[in-house]
């Protein structure tokens, strides 16, 4: 299949940046979006041109580094997938595809499709952990946790920190990310000890990084590759209010 790719090119965070159009030919419908970019980059290098910079690592939808806004949607069309899992067969032969980086003040562009997402790391450093010495892996039944709660905690822990929630939100809010990280610890006994300090520190750091407030339009849930529910944001709010009251 042949497609026309309109991709954002930006030399560095101080460059104005612009869209550049490329013709990509003879792409297998079974190729991933990133493999299509690889083919284009090989062609660009052969021509002596600068290849397109984009983030990737595992290419299995686990690491969360591959985020690109494709045709106006974080990670492109489809539900529950990261960019690396997006296959070219979802597009039609001859389609125009627009690719650009996450658009958020808190995610400054480093180069082309690569953005600086270390703000999320700093939120985690602020409180997304437990300091208790847990020792070795305990037996599965050593700490009695109801199965529904354990499953909900695991669902929240599935967040890969890709930032799609930020890219999808009109206010560039990181609430779903922060909520998932707080929720999976708040649900488990190990996370109870530092619950009050954790939520306050992480929310404070989120605000300091320049992320916006929740827009309540559920775009974050719709574009999340792990389909994390906005109900975790409700738990974040409850935890924050409880921490302030106590």
pLDDT of 190 reads 85
Under a CB-based contact definition with an 8 Å cutoff, are residues 240 and 150 in contact? Answer: no
pLDDT values of the chain reduced to their tens digit, one per residue, 246 residues: 999 999 999 999 999 999 999 999 999 999 999 999 999 999 999 999 999 999 999 999 999 999 999 999 999 999 999 999 999 999 999 999 999 999 999 999 999 999 999 999 999 999 998 887 767 776 767 778 888 998 999 999 999 999 999 999 999 999 999 999 999 999 988 888 899 999 999 999 999 999 999 999 999 999 999 999 999 999 999 999 999 887
Which ranges in the chain are annotated with CATH 1.10.1060.10?
118-245
pLDDT of 101 reads 98
pLDDT of 246 reads 74
Under a CB-based contact definition with an 8 Å cutoff, are residues 76 and 3 in contact? Answer: no
Q: Which residue has the tokens 């419908």?
A: 29
Question: Which fold would CATH assign to domain 3-111?
Answer: Ubiquitin-like (UB roll) (3.10.20)
DSSP result, 78-120: SSS--GGG-BGGGS-TT-EEEEE----TTS-EEETTEE--HHH
CATH number 1.10.10.10 given to 118-245: no
Which ranges in the chain are annotated with CATH 3.10.20.30?
3-111
Under a CB-based contact definition with an 8 Å cutoff, are residues 185 and 131 in contact? Answer: no
For residue 189, the tally of other CB atoms under 10 A from its CB is 12
Nearest by Cα to 33 from 51, 54, 18 = 54
């Amino acid at each position: 299949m042949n497609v026309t790719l309109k991709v954002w090119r930006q030399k560095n965070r101080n460059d104005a940046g612009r869209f550049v159009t490329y013709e990509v030919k003879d792409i297998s419908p079974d190729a991933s979006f990133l493999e299509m970019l690889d083919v284009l980059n090989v062609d660009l290098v052969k021509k002596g041109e600068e290849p397109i910079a984009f983030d990737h690592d595992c290419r299995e939808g686990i690491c969360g580094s591959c985020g690109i806004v494709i045709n106006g949607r974080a990670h492109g069309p489809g539900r529950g997938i990261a960019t690396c899992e997006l296959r070219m067969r979802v597009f039609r032969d001859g389609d125009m595809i627009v690719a650009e980086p996450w658009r958020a003040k808190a995610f400054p562009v480093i180069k082309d499709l690569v953005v600086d997402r270390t703000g999320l790391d700093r939120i985690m450093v602020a409180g997304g952990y437990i300091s208790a010495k847990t020792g070795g892996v305990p037996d599965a039944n050593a700490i009695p946790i109801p199965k529904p709660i354990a499953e909900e905690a695991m669902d929240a822990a599935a967040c890969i920190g890709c930032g799609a929630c930020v890219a999808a939100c009109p206010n560039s809010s990181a609430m779903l990310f922060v909520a998932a990280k707080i929720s999976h610890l708040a649900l488990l006994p190990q996370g109870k000890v530092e619950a009050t300090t954790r939520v306050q520190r992480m929310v404070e750091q989120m605000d300091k990084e320049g992320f916006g407030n929740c827009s309540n339009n559920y775009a974050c849930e719709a574009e999340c590759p792990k389909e994390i529910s906005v109900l975790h944001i409700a738990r974040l709010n409850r935890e924050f209010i409880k921490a302030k009251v106590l």
